Chains A and B, each alone.
Chain A
C-alpha cells in the first residue's frame, strides 16, 4: 500500500513537472536570465570588444537592477580566440548545457557566422555588437539575430558615397583577405559603381600583414584618387602608417573604412589627422554619451569603442523586452525587442527592424590633428549625423521575420 502511495506521488510530481514544462514560456526558465558574452579577450580585437564588452554588459545588468521579473540576471563570458570552431563550441556548451539565454558581444565576423548558426539552431538570440559583416541580416539572416552597432553597408554608404559624389572617382582597395574584408570591399565597390566611380585595382593582404609597403606601391602606381583601407585593427594602423611614409597621402586620399577609437589612438595624429570615417558611436558627442562614457572609462580604463556602447545598449534593450514579455522565451522576447523602440545614449532615432537590423543615427567624423586635441581621448570631431535610413541597406523580403 505504501509502495502504491509512493508511486502515485511520484506520478503526480512527474505530471506536475511536465505541465510546468509546457507552460514554461510564461516566466523565466531555470529561475535566472543568463547572458553569455563571447568576445576576443586577448587577440587583435581585444580592445574593440573583449573585456570591455563584458564590462559594458555587466554595467547594463547593474543599471537594470540586477534582476528581471524577480529573477537574478547572471553574466558569463568566454574568449573566442578569434577562432570560429572555438567560439561556436563555447556557444553550444552554453546554450545546450549551461542554460544561457542569449549571447552578446560577438566580434569577428568569421566567429559570429559560426556562433549565430548554433544559436539559431537552439532558438537563442544573438546580440551582435561588433561584427562588421552585413550577412547576419541579409544572406544569413535569422529570426534570432540582432545586429546593433554598425555594418559594412553603413560604413560604405557613410564614408565612400560622399567622396565619390564629390568627384573622387578612381578607387583602389587594400583589403583584409577574409570574410569581413571581402564583404566591405564588395559593398563599397557597389556604392562606387552606382555613383559612376571606378575601381582601378585591389590587393588582398593576408590578415596580420606586417609590411604594407608593397601594396602601397601598387596603390600608388594605379593612379587612384582614393585608396580605401578595407581592413581593421592593426592592419589599418600599419597600412596607413606606410601610406604616409611612402608619400601616398600627398597624392591620393586614404580612406579608412573601419576605424575604432582604440585604432585611431594607435595612429600617429600627424599622419591620421584629417581622415574622414564613419562610426556608430563617439563618446564625446553630447552630454548623454559623455556621462555614460565617463562611467565606462572609470571601470574599464579606456574610452568606449562603438562596440562597447552597442553592447550596453542592446543588453539593456534585451532586458527591457524580457520584462515587457514577462518571459525569457526567445520568440516572445524577440517580438518585444522589435516592438519596443530602442532609445538611449547610443540608439538615436532608432528602430529594430523585422530582419534584426538595428537602424540608428550614424556619425561622420574627422580624425583630429595634433593641435586640435585636448588630450589622448580627444580624437574625433563629429562633422555630420547620418540618418540610419540613408546608410543601411533596405530589408530583404526573405529576411522579414515580422510574423514569427
Chain B
C-alpha cells in the first residue's frame, strides 16, 4: 500500500473524497442561509428546522402518499419553500425593519417549536428511509468503495449550487434581486415589486434547505434533532465564507467538509470542534470572512 510520511495514502484519498461529499452537503445548506442573509439581511435560525422538515416531508410522502424519492426531490422543496413563504409573510415581515436580533430570536423560537412538535409527533429516535433502488450499490475505486448515492450527492449539490450562483450573479433576475436589496425604494420606483421578490427569495432559500433534507433522508437518520445538529456548523461555515457571499458559502462548505474529513482521520475527537477553530482564526485575521467585503 502506498504510504507517504507514514500516512496511508489510500486511506487519505478516501477521507478526502468523503470530506468532499460532506462538503457538498454543507455547501447546499450554507447556500440557503447565505442567500437569505446576503440578500435579505435576515439571520434565519429556522433553516435547520426547514432541513428537518424536508426530510420528514420526504418520509411522509413515501409512506403515506406513495410519492417516490425522485418526485419528492422536486415536490418537497416546493412544499418547504411554501412554508418559508408563509413564515416570511406572517411572522418575519412585521419585524423586518427591526434589528437583526429580532428575526434571529423569532426564527430560533420557530426552530425550537418545530423540533418539539416533531419530537412529540414522531418520537426522538428517528424514522427509516431507504436509499432509492436506482442508487443502491456502488463503485469500487482503487482506494475506497464509493456508494452510488454519495456520488449522487456530489453531482446534485454541484448542479444546484452552481445553478443558484449563476442565477444570482449572472442573470438579469439576479441583478434585480441584488439591486432590490441594495436600494429597495429606487427599485420600487422602477416598477419592480420588491416585497414580492423578498418573499420569493426567502422561499427559495428555505426550499434549498428542504432539498438538502430530502437528499439527507436516505443516508442520515430522519429525526427531529437532525437540523439543530447541523445548523451551528453551517452557520460557522457561512461566517467563515463571509456573511452573505454566495460563492463564498459554496466554496467554504466544500473546504470545511474536507478539513473536517481530515480531522476525523487524524484526530476524530476534535472533528466537531475544528470548524469553529477555523472560524475563530478567520475572524481574527479577516473579520469579514474569507470572501466577504469589508463593511
Contacts and interface: CB of A to CB of B under 8 A. Distances in A.
A204 B268 contact: yes
Given A233-B125, A266-B126, A246 B230 contact: no
Interface string A185-219: 00000000000000000011110111101110110
Given A50-B124, A214-B15, A262-B125, A237 B221 contact: yes
Contacts of A210: 220, 226, 229-230
A238 interface: yes
Interface stretch (B145-153, B154-162, B163-171): B145-153
A269 B265 CA distance: 30
B220 A266 contact: no
Interface in B14-40: 14-15, 18-19, 21-22, 25
Contacts of A302: 123
Interface stretch (B127-135, B188-196, B202-210): B127-135
Interface in A291-312: 302
A44 B147 CA distance: 28
| Range, interface on chain A | 35 or more
A177 B223 CA distance: 21
A267 interface: yes
Contacts, number: 117
20 contacts: A43-B124, A44-B225, A45-B124, A47-B125, A205-B268, A206-B271, A211-B18, A214-B18, A221-B14, A237-B126, A237-B221, A242-B219, A245-B219, A246-B147, A247-B138, A247-B147, A265-B125, A266-B126, A267-B128, A302-B123
B8 interface: yes
Nearest to A213: B18
Interface in B229-271: 229-230, 261, 264-265, 268-269, 271
A234 interface: yes
A245 B15 contact: no
Nearest to B257: A211
B131 A245 contact: yes
Closest 10 interchain pairs by CB?
A214-B264, A262-B125, A46-B124, A266-B126, A206-B272, A47-B125, A268-B128, A266-B125, A237-B221, A47-B123
A204 B269 contact: yes
B145 to A, nearest CB: 5
A270 B229 CA distance: 27
Nearest to A40: B124
Interface in B101-158: 116, 119, 123-131, 138, 144-145, 147, 149-150
Contact of B221 (A214, A218, A238, A260): A238
Interface of B: 8, 10-11, 14-15, 18-19, 21-22, 25, 116, 119, 123-131, 138, 144-145, 147, 149-150, 219-221, 223, 225-226, 229-230, 261, 264-265, 268-269, 271-272
B124 A209 contact: no
B112 to A, nearest CB: 10
A77 to B, nearest CB: 16
A270 B130 contact: yes
A263 interface: yes
A194 B252 CA distance: 48
B59 to A, nearest CB: 11
Contacts of A274: none
Given A177-B269, A206-B269, A217-B11, A42 B220 contact: no
Contact of A266 (B128, B268, B271, B272): B128
B123 A262 contact: yes
Interface in A136-167: none
Contacts of B149: 245
A302 B144 CA distance: 40
A46 B230 contact: no
A241 interface: yes
Q: Which of A217, A237, A260, A267 has the most CB of B within 10 A?
A: A217
